[in-house]
Amino acid sequence: MENSAKKSTVEFNPELDVSKDDINAYLDSQDRTSIYDFKDDETAFYKLDSGLTEEIVNKISEEKHDPEWMHEFRLKSLDLYNKIQVPQWGSPIDGLNMDNIVTYVRPNTDMKTSWDEVPEEIKSAFDKLGIPQAEHDYLAGVGAQYDSELVYHNLQESVAAKGVVYSDLESAMTGEYADMVKEYFMKLVPPTDHKFAALHGAVWSGGSFVYVPKGVTVEVPLQSYFRLNAKGAGQFEHTLIIVDEGADLHFIEGCSAPKWNVANLHAGCVELYVKKNARLRYSTIENWSKNMYNLNTKRALVEEGARMEWVSGSFGSHVSYLYPTTILKGKDSQCDYTGITFSGKGQNLDTGCRMVHLGENTSSLVTAKSLSKDGGINTFRSSIEVMPSATGSKSSVDCSSLMLDDISRSDTIPEIDVRTADCNIGHEAKIGRISDDAVFYLMSRGISEEEARSMIVSGFANPISKELPLEYAAEMNNLIKLEMEGA
Amino acid sequence: MGETSNGVLVNHLPSPTWNRLGVNRAFVNFETLPEVEKTFEFTIENAEQITIERKSTKEAVLFADSFSQGIRREATVAGKAPIYQKQIFATGMGAQYTDLVEKLVHKTDILTVSENEKLEDAVILRWDFKKDGKAASQQIIHAKKNSSATFLLIQESEREAKGHVAIETKVILEEGAKVNLIKVNMLGEGFVLMDDTAAVINEGADLEFTQMILGGEKTYTGCYADQAGDGAVFNVNTGYMANKEHLIDINYVACERGENCSSKIYVKGSLRDRAFKTFRGTIDFRRGSKNSVGDEQEDVLLLDEGVINKTMPVILTEEEDVDARHGATIGNLSPEVLFYMGSRGIDKHAAEMLITRGHLISIANTIPDEDTVKKINLFIREAFDSNECF
């Protein structure tokens, strides 16, 4: 296993009532740089050849023991993939060559329901990421995917007793919920949607299925964690969540990978169905390695009186295309999107969201923050679409960007499409730098310039971190602190 | 990219977005242009204050390009070079439209304001078609150092008239020059207007651009301002109204390159019936535009259920030391406003009329030509009177 740990240090500050050693010891304990960037030996794993051909898709289907309809679905998706053009807008993805991407890597284990049964080398990866501990401390269930397959899935008995289903998608496809999966799978994000949705349809593997029955509230969150370890591989997990009428769920998604010198690809798909008067919060802390092309598709369909909440933190990847889409179909349905994106050296992150108002009196609230540093490129891209049927609807978009140096870039490209007079739509955005006055004020109180800038950035990100569970907010703040080192 | 066989692609968004939104560009379909024979030339008033030279278009293009050459430093917009900036003198509507105008006109008028000259009266270029007609025209306004001038370009006709108009105006502002460029569209309901503007604004120069889009069946318009010099100022104040199935397609770009530049793009309008409007407004801060500011705002009043409004307030930034803002408000009158109006005996329709007129008249009143302001007032009143709502 390689480990590229990097230590943070501080110079002694006589104004502070702690020694330099104390501070460095504290930073050591907090230093999370290395925890994502470790690589495991995968020589024993089963891998398909790189590239994308009908033969490879057939092999994946065979490996997954797909029902016939799914096998056909994959082949149709492959055909679409070959026909659909690469997007001409957005960050460049010229460095991504599908001929070099391995679409399926199977670890040498079946899925387990106890961490003790997971092979040591894989378990140790998730231990380092703190997943078993998190499950023990504050999660109702955990799914852990390693490369193309789930290696661990478990749900608390008390939650399962309420009828909540949380399983890997393959099991759901052939088990008791087979009809439900067939009814909903890639209906919200059809393979015709765009090139990478078609790619996903052809080679998807792994991911989770969640069903929360009518009226059931899951008190503590469920979490899926995706780890992509293999060099030059792709991860194509599919998450399908159905929150039935009046039910309530918080689902957390985390992802990471070690850094390789070749491109890796993540083209996952998330489909969320929020039924009448239900509520779903979907939180993501994404910290892919900086060689990753993160071309992920997320979409929610929200029924009458229901509420969808997206909380999104994007820190990793080389290139991202990530725009959670919400279709506010039902009358009085609502959606909040709260997101932060931090682009550093070598990163070109194109993130944002899309709201489609279809139902009467629907409302959406978008709060987006972005930071660019060390030559990082940030693009906030959004679309608010208010259809003729969405009378009485409201939408508000608030977007702010901070530029932390003069070699970075920050763009905002919002679109508002309104097709009814009976609505109220507002949009506001601002781009600027850290105020010199604020830095001066903090420095006049004995805080170093670096710490002052870091504090200002943490304050800037506060509206997002306060929406996360405490442990995840702390994790996000750590990531920001790391990114701010030397800024 | 060349002109397509039956039309031109215009108003390219500098940084393209999702194609399905249909806002990356607009298409002017020649097959739908009204058939008219009569060709019009504009008339010019107060011309004695300036020098007018009519040159071959080829010669005029080279002249204009000489002021723009050397400042084209392309940015990487969202990772990709903008698709339309192949032009040396960048325009709002883009290269295909410029090619079209240069094919249609063989002569270009160069209107020069002498160094340090401060014009007292507005120079008025008027296309008064009265009945049906068509026109194509290209002019270059050259404001020399520390000069100051107002140019008013008016297209008008009787309300029932039809036709098509293609205009391109290039403005060169030398150091310290100030130009008020005002464009007013009061064309009849069968007109298609294509009206493009491009400017190079040098150090300390100021372009105040006012546009009133009141008539016509379809209006495609753009403005690209290259703020090449330090302290260059570009302010836009636009008002529009559209009803029936009228279409308005706007593309404004402020490209701030110099230090201490400033741009404001303010647009206000109202849509009725089944009108369709697209507004693209981009403030593009290039590296080196330190201490510059940019602000854009669109306020749209939607008065009927069948309207379609698309708004794209874009900011592109590759310079840290800038202050950029944009905003948009879209909707109908708030219940508070309606209640207030109602308490004074003004019903909903009358309130909508008052607010719309208020928006437009506030812009019209800045035009330094009393006769034009009166005409605009009358045009707006007639437009409301002809609508059953009012």
Kindly tell me if the per-residue pLDDT of B389 is higher than 60.
Answer: no
Residues A387/A389/A393/A399 CA torsion (nearest 10 deg): -10
Helices then strands, each counted (H, E), chain B: 5, 20
> What is the percentage of chain B residues whose pLDDT exceeds 70?
93
Kindly tell me if the per-residue pLDDT of A211 is higher than 90.
Answer: yes
Kindly tell me if the per-residue pLDDT of B388 is higher than 50.
Answer: no
Confidence of residue B238 (pLDDT cuts 50, 70, 90): very high
- Give the residue extent of every domain in chain A: 13-485
The H or E element containing residue B351 is helix B348-364
> What is the percentage of chain A residues whose pLDDT exceeds 70?
88
Which among A82, A59, A46, A97 has a CA at the least distance from the CA of A232? A97
Nearest neighbour of B305 by CB, restricted to A404, A410, A421: A421
Nearest neighbour of A415 by CB, restricted to B17, B76, B317: B17
- Between CA A126 and CA A136 the distance in angstroms is 13
| Closest alpha carbon within chain B to A409 | B318
Exposure class string for B32-53: b at 16+ Cβ within 10 A, else e: ebeebeeebebebebeebbeee
Nearest-5° Cα angle at A339, A335 to A341 = 155
* Lowest-confidence segment of A459-463, B146-150, B292-296 by average pLDDT: A459-463
Which among A300, A88, A269 has a CA at the least distance from the CA of A196? A269
- Give the residue extent of every domain in chain B: 7-333
pLDDT tens for each residue of A286-336: 888 888 999 999 999 999 999 999 999 898 899 999 999 999 999 999 999
Confidence of residue B334 (pLDDT cuts 50, 70, 90): confident
Which amino acid, one-letter code, is at B164? H
Phi then psi dihedrals of residue A312, to 5 deg: -135, 130
Phi then psi dihedrals of residue A177, to 5 deg: -100, 20
Q: Which of residues 91-150 of A touch B (CB under 8 A)?
A: 91-92
Confidence of residue B387 (pLDDT cuts 50, 70, 90): low
Q: Per DSSP, which regions of A288-389 are E strands?
A: 292-295, 297-302, 307-314, 319-322, 325-328, 334-343, 348-357, 363-372, 377-386
pLDDT tens for each residue of A36-46: 666 666 655 77
For an interface test with B, which of A431, A434, A435, A453 has the most B Cβ atoms less than 10 Å from its Cβ? A431
Task: Please give the pLDDT value at position A380.
Answer: 95
Is A54 an interface residue toward B (CB < 8 Å)? no
Token pair listed for A141: 């269930």
- Between CA B199 and CA B141 the distance in angstroms is 9
Nearest neighbour of A383 by CB, restricted to B21, B315, B326: B21
* Lowest-confidence segment of A8-12, B176-180, B247-251, B327-331 by average pLDDT: A8-12
Kindly tell me if the per-residue pLDDT of B281 is higher than 80.
Answer: yes
Phi then psi dihedrals of residue A103, to 5 deg: -90, -15
Mean pLDDT of B301-325: 93
Kindly tell me if the per-residue pLDDT of B32 is higher than 60.
Answer: yes
Confidence of residue B71 (pLDDT cuts 50, 70, 90): low
Task: Please give the pLDDT value at position A2.
Answer: 37
* Lowest-confidence segment of A28-37, A130-139, A251-260 by average pLDDT: A28-37
The H or E element containing residue A359 is none
Residue partners of A11: CB distance under 8 A and separation at least 6: A20
pLDDT tens for each residue of A104-133: 887 777 777 777 777 777 777 777 767 777
The H or E element containing residue A173 is helix A169-174
- Between CA A203 and CA A374 the distance in angstroms is 35
Phi then psi dihedrals of residue A140, to 5 deg: -90, -20
Mean pLDDT of A442-446: 88
Which among A104, A95, A110, A113 has a CA at the least distance from the CA of A61? A104
Task: Please give the pLDDT value at position A183.
Answer: 95
Distance between A348 CA and the closest CA of chain B, angstroms:
8
Mean pLDDT of A71-98: 91
Give the pairing of strands A208-212 and B322-331: unpaired
Position of tokens 């070109």?
A: A348
Largest CA distance in chain A: 71
Distance between A443 CA and the closest CA of chain B, angstroms:
20
Binary contact (B305, A420; C-beta < 8 A): yes
| Alpha carbon distances (Å) from A367 to A310, A353, A428, B74, B146 | 10, 10, 10, 31, 45
Under 8 Å between Cβ of A414 and A387: no
Beta bridge partners of B124: B45, B152
Phi then psi dihedrals of residue B375, to 5 deg: -65, -40
DSSP label at residue B10: E
Cα B67 to chain center, whole Å? 21
Token pair listed for A83: 């026909």
Kindly tell me if the per-residue pLDDT of A73 is higher than 50.
Answer: yes
Q: Which of residues 332-391 of A touch B (CB under 8 A)?
A: 348, 350, 377, 379, 381, 383, 388, 391
| Closest alpha carbon within chain A to B316 | A411
Residue A360 CB-half CA count within 13 A: 0
- Between CA B303 and CA B333 the distance in angstroms is 8
Confidence of residue A417 (pLDDT cuts 50, 70, 90): very high
- Between CA A263 and CA A339 the distance in angstroms is 26
Q: What mean pLDDT is reported for chain A?
A: 84
Mean pLDDT of B85-103: 88
- Between CA A206 and CA A270 the distance in angstroms is 12
The H or E element containing residue B338 is helix B335-343
Under 8 Å between Cβ of A28 and A68: no
For an interface test with A, which of B17, B285, B298, B352 has the most A Cβ atoms less than 10 Å from its Cβ? B17
Under 8 Å between Cβ of B364 and B374: no
pLDDT tens for each residue of A359-399: 999 999 999 999 998 999 999 999 999 999 999 999 999 99
- Using a CB-CB cut-off of 8 Å, the residues of chain B touching A413 are 15, 17, 78, 312, 314
| Closest alpha carbon within chain B to A396 | B329
Beta bridge partners of B196: B168, B222
- Between CA A125 and CA A127 the distance in angstroms is 5
Distance between B268 CA and the closest CA of chain A, angstroms:
14
Task: Please give the pLDDT value at position A44.
Answer: 54
Is A406 an interface residue toward B (CB < 8 Å)? yes
| Alpha carbon distances (Å) from B368 to A287, B2, B82, B120, B364 | 58, 40, 37, 10, 9
Token pair listed for A29: 């304990």
pLDDT tens for each residue of A146-165: 777 777 778 888 888 999 99
Under 8 Å between Cβ of B354 and B381: no
Task: Please give the pLDDT value at position B85.
Answer: 61
| ipTM of the complex as predicted | 0.91
- Using a CB-CB cut-off of 8 Å, the residues of chain A touching B76 are 377, 409
Per-range mean pLDDT, top range of A174-183, A271-280, A470-479, B326-335: A271-280
